[in-house]
Amino acid sequence: MSRFVIEGGHKLQGTIRASGNKNAALAVLPACLLSDQPITLHNIPDIQDVRTMLLIMQDLGAEVCQVGDGSWRIHARNLHKTELDPALAGRVRASFVISGPLLARMGQVSLPIPGGDVIGGRPLDTHVQGLRALGATVALEARQGVFTIQANPLHGGGYFLQPEASVTATENTVMAAVLARGETIIDNAASEPHVQDLCHLLNQLGARIEGIGSNRLRIQGVPSLGGGEFTIGADFMEVGSFIGAAAVTGGAVRIANASPADLGMIGLVYGRLGVAWEVDGPDIVVPAGQSLTIEPALGGRIPEIKPMPWPGFPPDLMSILVVLASQSQGSVLLHDWMYESRFFFVDKLKFMGAQIVLCDPHRVLVQGPSPLNANPQGVTSPDIRAGMAMVLAALCARGVSTIHNIQQIDRGYEQVEHKLRALGANITRLDS
């Protein structure tokens, strides 16, 4: 087991380059299974979830070859399996997204209930409903925890995503629909940048998808897809995390190739906590001396911040927002209505000195600023985003902190300690 040892109190200064979008990578990689032609993908982040996805695809028979830094060539001409390895699928939530392309290409798929972060209930009903709307039969062997899905064959249809505009269910349904017979219309579709990247890639391969970026996708099925080359965008979750790190340490940071157009709502919400940045072409520049003052609601009331589907504030940055709020003047109520376990890491921040009230599983009240003290005994990273939030807390705390179970952070952040050291942080990775 690896851990980070972090000495806090150092202002971050300098330039780093944004990594490719984790969630885009975990969608465009399985999309390569839809074609028997070679596909080259660029800007793929070197993170644990991506490595696991590549292993799953190799196990199914796809040829996987790294052709450059962040560039991979996938050739799925001879798939010989339709059953996912349970050990591999159990490591990553996105393994279920393979069901759409495998079903469309091979006519069947068998896969276990996926793994991933433990941040609350993340039901698969929306995925199953989408595949059934295209004519698939889905059976779950509850005792073994294995889904068996058959195409009968797939045909176009209308589908309204409910109870939520699920990103992965949208991606899965789109990938199944591009090779289905006839027209498919997906309403209440997710429209995040990573969903848009997937749709643009598929269209480049020969799919016919209209309405990209909206909540209604119209898909005309095609007999087959070809090969091609595609570059995914920056990871706005990583960018938002490093903006937060610069702000809480009082530093000045430039993030290169940050896809500023994807940061609109993040900028508005961070601005309510007194954090702002400048856009310089494809880069963003976070200046030193942020005000870090929470803007009250009308009448001086405590403001409430909630995540929302795109283009709203992304739920994966709520953990980062907790640390940012703890270092800002004033009070704010953070309400993550999507995941009931998102805030169960805040006891670790309270131990370090943060003034936080866990109101219920979905809401925390944060009062700042609170000087944080290091936790040398160590805290355990429960999931990707909470782990990164603890890194931010350690960076601005007095003394030396230890963070365990950092393989959770590795699942979503590429070489995070190297990037932080390039900015002047005192962070060391130790392996037990």
Lowest mean pLDDT among 38-42, 105-109, 146-150, 415-419: 146-150
Please give the pLDDT value at position 324: 98
Sequence spans of domains, the chain: 2-19+234-431, 22-231
Q: What is the pLDDT of residues 187-225, one digit of tens each?
A: 999 999 999 999 999 999 999 999 999 999 999 999 999
Contact predicate 33/26, CB 8 Å: no
- ∠ CA 327-333-336, rounded to 5°: 105
Q: What is the pLDDT of residues 328-363, one digit of tens each?
A: 999 999 999 887 788 989 999 999 999 999 999 899
Categorize the per-residue pLDDT at 123 as very low, low, confident or very high, splitting at 50, 70 and 90.
low
Contact predicate 204/225, CB 8 Å: no
Please give the pLDDT value at position 143: 61
Average pLDDT, the chain: 92
pLDDT tops 80 at residue 142: no
Domain 2-19+234-431, CATH class in plain words: alpha beta
Cis preceding linkage at 282, omega within 30: no
Structure tokens at 104: 């469309």
pLDDT tops 60 at residue 301: yes
Distance, in Å, from the CA atom of 93 to the CA atom of 99, rounded to the nearest integer, reads 12
Q: What is the CA radius of gyration of the chain?
A: 22
Question: Shortest CA distance to 187 belongs to which of 157, 158, 156, 216?
Answer: 216
Question: Collapsing DSSP states into helix, strand and coil, what is residue 53?
Answer: helix
Please give the pLDDT value at position 281: 97
Categorize the per-residue pLDDT at 379 as very low, low, confident or very high, splitting at 50, 70 and 90.
confident
| pTM across the whole model | 0.92
Q: What is the DSSP letter of 69?
A: T
Please give the pLDDT value at position 115: 56
Distance, in Å, from the CA atom of 43 to the CA atom of 358, rounded to the nearest integer, reads 38
Lowest mean pLDDT among 5-14, 27-36, 134-143, 227-236: 134-143
Look up tokens 């480049």; give the residue. Answer: 204
Q: What is the mean pLDDT of residues 275-297?
A: 96
Q: What is the pLDDT of residues 64-112, one digit of tens each?
A: 999 999 999 999 999 999 999 888 888 887 888 999 999 999 999 998 8
Categorize the per-residue pLDDT at 125 as very low, low, confident or very high, splitting at 50, 70 and 90.
confident
Superfamily of chain region 22-231 = Enolpyruvate transferase domain (3.65.10.10)
Distance, in Å, from the CA atom of 201 to the CA atom of 217, rounded to the nearest integer, reads 15
Please give the pLDDT value at position 120: 41
Whether the domain at 2-19+234-431 and the domain at 22-231 fall into the same CATH topology: yes
Identity of the amino acid at 321: L
Residues forming the active site: 117
**CB burial of residue 141 (10 Å; 0-12, 13-18, 19+):** exposed
Query: What is the DSSP secondary-structure string of 357-421?
Result: EEEETTEEEEEE----B--TT-EE--SHHHHHHHHHHHHHSBSEEEEE-THHHHTTSTTHHHHHH
